[in-house]
Every structure is written in structure tokens, then in C-alpha cells.
Amino acid sequence: MTAKKSFPKDPDLANVEEALKRAGKAARELARKTRTPCFVIKEGKIVNIAEDQADYPSALKSSSHKC
């Protein structure tokens, strides 16, 4: 049995999911460009997802100390 996806009846809410995805993508891109944190809630914890990027300042510091 497949679940039907229900759509909001209010036209202002019809495209909220897509708008939130665009906003999240823009926030991650801004964090990458400016080398600033981008916090999200992941598995119930607040985490900085920008740290996962190779060009993030903390990643650069830790990689410069490796032999």
C-alpha cells in the first residue's frame, strides 16, 4: 500500500517544501563561500554541517598538522 501525499489547500503553503529546500541550499552555499558555520539539527543534536567541507577553517587547521 502506498501512502498518498496530501497537498495543502492554502495556496500560500503549496510550495513551502520546495522553498525550504532552496533556502537550505542557499544557506549551505553562503556558509561555504564565507567559511562560516551552518548549523542544523541532525539526530536531535545541533551540528555545524560546514565543518564537513574541506575548505572550512577547522578542516584546514587539522589537515595542515598531518604528516
Rounded percentage of the chain residues whose pLDDT exceeds 90: 36
Is residue 14 included in any domain, yes or no? Answer: no
Question: Given a cut of 70, is residue 45 above it in pLDDT?
Answer: yes
Is residue 30 included in any domain, yes or no? Answer: no
Is residue 22 included in any domain, yes or no? Answer: no
Q: How far apart are CA 39 and CA 54, in angstroms?
A: 17
Query: Which of 60 and 31 is assigned the larger pLDDT?
Result: 31
Is residue 58 included in any domain, yes or no? Answer: yes
Is residue 47 included in any domain, yes or no? Answer: yes
Tell me, yes or no, if the pTM score tops 0.95.
no
Please give the residue range of the domain that contains residue 45: 36-67
- Is the distance from CB of 47 to CB of 39 less than 8 angstroms? yes
Q: What domain count does the chain have?
A: 1
Is residue 52 included in any domain, yes or no? Answer: yes
Is residue 43 included in any domain, yes or no? Answer: yes
The 10 Å Cβ neighbour count of residue 17 is 10
- Is the distance from CB of 32 to CB of 52 less than 8 angstroms? no
